[in-house]
Amino acid sequence: MPETQGRRRGFSRAAGFVVLVLYLGVSTPLLYLRTLTPFMDNIRIHPISAKPFLTLANDETTILLNAGQGTTGTSTAMEATCRLGIPSFHYIFSCVPPHLSKSNEYFRQYNLLLIRKKALHDKLVKNYFFYRDCAYSRNNSWWYRLFRTAIFQCTMSHLEAALKEDQQNLKELLQQPGNFALHDSPYPYYLNYILQQAQASDRSISLMISEREPAVWSSRRMSTHPEVFVCREQFHEIIHGSTDSSKSNINFYYSGAFDLIACIERARTQDPPPQLVSDVLITYSGLEAICDSHNHHASECHARLGEINARALQDYQDRVRQLYTPEYTINLWDKKLTTAEFAMDIYNQLPRLHYMVNRVELVLRGGPEDGKVLPLVHA
C-alpha cells in the first residue's frame, strides 16, 4: 500500500512538472512578443484591408487635426476628443481602447490598425526629439553636449534624412483608415504639408485650432518648455543683434518659426550652406542663453525675444484662420469649459461627428494618469 501511494505521488509530481513546462513554454514567448516593439513597428496592413471601427453613417471617416501650438490647451483638447470615443495622439501621450476581449477577426484587425497608427506617430515623435536635441545653442557647455544627441549625428544630412522620413510617415498616417485625432507636436510643424497631402489623396480632414492670447502664451511657452525648437531665421534679430530682416519688413514670415519644412528649404539657399542642425533650428533655452550673454542689455533682449515669439504665434493663428478656415476654433482662456463640456462643444460644432457610430471607450496611455478611464460624453 505505501508503495502504491508513493507511485501516485511520483506520478502527480511528474504530471505537475509537465504542466509547468508546457505553461512556461507557451506563456514566456507570448510575453516577449507582447513587448517586442520593433516587431510591432514593422506590421504592415493595407489601408483598406480592415473595416474602420469608428465610421460615419456613409462609411466616411475623418482625421480630426488640431493645428493649435502647444501650451494652448492641446492636452485638454486631446482628452476631449478621447471622450468623444476617438483614438487620439498628443506628443508622447495617446488614448486607445482598453484590451478588447472579443477575439473575432474584426476586433483583431482593429487592434492591429491602432498599433500601426501609434507606431507611425511614435516614429514622428522620435524624429521630433532628434530635432530638439540637435537644436542646442552654440553657447551650451560641453557637459550639455555630451549627454544630448552626439554632435556627429546633428548634421544637415541627418536633418534631411529625418525630414524625408517624416514626410513618408505622414503620408502613410493619412492613409490609415478610421477616425482618429492628432494634437500638438510634431503636427503643427507640418501643417501645410499635411493639408496638401490630404487634399491630394482625398483624405477627409476636420481642422480645429486651439488658440491663446499671444503675449501670455509666449511667456508661458518659453518658461515651461524651454526645450522646444523654432526656426533660427525668425529670431535673427536676437541671435545676431540686427533688425534688418524683421522690423524693416512688414510682411516678414514670423509664423515660419513653426514651419519646419519651409525653414529647411530656406536654409538650403544659404551661402555658405549650413552644416549642423543648430545652424537651422534653435531652442528657446538657446535663445534665452544668448540674451543672458548680453550683460548690460539682457532684460531688453529677453523682452524683445518675448515680443518676437508672441508675434510668431499671432501670425500663425491668423494664417490658419485665413488660409485654412478651421471648422472649430476655441480659446480655452476666454471660454471656460470642463473637459466634458469641451467634448460636447466639439461634437456640436463638427457636423461630421454627428453620424459617428461604434464609439469606443478609451483609457489614457502614458504619464502619471496611465490607465485612467475616459468615460464617453453622450450626445
The residue-averaged pLDDT of 365-370 equals: 84
Beta carbons within 8 Å of 369's beta carbon, 6+ residues apart: none
- Are 111 and 178 in contact, with CB atoms under 8 Å apart? no
The residue-averaged pLDDT of 291-301 equals: 92
Residue (of 222, 219, 241, 242) closest to 230 by Cα position: 222
Mean pLDDT of the chain: 83
Cα 341 to Cα 40, 62, 182, 349, 375: the distances in Å are 36, 22, 20, 12, 13
DSSP state of 358: S
- Are 219 and 249 in contact, with CB atoms under 8 Å apart? no
Give the pLDDT confidence of 320-337 residue by residue, as tens digits: 999 999 999 999 999 889
Residue (of 117, 93, 126) closest to 41 by Cα position: 117
pLDDT > 50? residue 105? yes
Residue (of 231, 207, 224, 243) closest to 327 by Cα position: 207
Cell numbers for 20, please give them: 509547468
Residue (of 125, 110, 102) closest to 179 by Cα position: 110
- % the chain with pLDDT above 90: 60
User: For the chain, what is the largest distance between any 2 Cα atoms, rounded to a whole number of angstroms?
Assistant: 106
Provide the CA 373 distance to its chain's centre, in angstroms.
Answer: 21
Cα separation, 47 vs 104, in Å, equals 19
207 strand-pairing partners: 65
Give the pLDDT confidence of 255-269 residue by residue, as tens digits: 999 999 999 999 999
pLDDT at 66: 98
Give the pLDDT confidence of 68-93 residue by residue, as tens digits: 999 999 999 999 999 999 999 999 99
DSSP 208-254: EEEE--HHHHHHHHHHH-TT-EEEGGGGHHHHHS--TTTTT-TT--G
pLDDT > 90? residue 299? yes
pLDDT at 74: 97
The residue-averaged pLDDT of 216-245 equals: 90
pLDDT > 90? residue 101? no
